[in-house]
Amino acid sequence: MCGRFTLVSPQRAAAELFGEARGETSSLPPRYNITPSQDVLTLRSSNEGSTREAVLLRWGLVPFWAKNAAIGNRLINARAETVADKPSFRAAFRQRRCLIAADGFFEWRREGNAKTPYHIHMAAAEPFAMAGLWERWAPDGEAAVESCTIITTAANALVEPIHARMPVIVDRHDHDLWLLSGTGSEELAGLLRPYPAERMAAHSVSRAVNDPRNDGPECIRPNGPGHLFKDA
């Protein structure tokens, strides 16, 4: 799964990943420990489909048919292998795909009786976009909630020693293909693959990240020498 991630430079991410998309991102603060139920920076097509917009969506998908918003706490991830068929995700997969900005994510590796957190990121320390889905939940008499989920896939060779799953990272030249409403199911399935391990790196970090109240640089600081690695 993907249950925590970072966006330390949201303005850089918006400029490099989202380009001329509508939306105000200049006031977004650095985030070192983004957790479910918080707002995340997302790119989607506008309602009319002619433009792209950068928006904040709540992390944890609330399907349009849900009886209450609490279901979102259980839908922070969607598996690539079943996303096209599961009732919670299939409508959004066909019609409401998005890109979620990040510059790293966390996974925990079991080492003896303990779990060590790792920060996994691009080897070039650049932002990237995770494949996501979004929904608008607007029950009678309640304020509308716009929410999203992150699609996960099998881990690549770098992540696999840490965790069996990783988020789907959409290469920049595939962003349009992912967002276009007319993209076919076979083309979409072809994007739901592990990102090349040789372009990524990881390092162990302090267990400070375990506490969602911690959201500072200590969450991504390498945990001493000898804890850096990347795929050979």
pLDDT digits (tens, 9 = 90+) for 11-27: 999 999 998 788 888 89
Instruction: Select from 16, 17, 60, 54 the least CA-distant residue to 36.
Output: 60
* pLDDT beneath 50: ranges in the chain: 226, 232
What pLDDT is recorded for position 49?
61
228 found inside a domain: no
9 found inside a domain: yes
How far from the centroid of its chain's Cα atoms is residue 45's Cα? 17
126: CATH? 3.90.1680.10
Q: Which domain holds residue 43?
A: 5-223
229 found inside a domain: no
Angstrom distance (rounded) from CA 109 to CA 124: 23
Catalytically annotated residues = 2, 107
230 found inside a domain: no
Number of folded domains that form the chain: 1
What pLDDT is recorded for position 20?
77
What pLDDT is recorded for position 182?
87
The structure's pTM equals 0.94
232 found inside a domain: no
231 found inside a domain: no
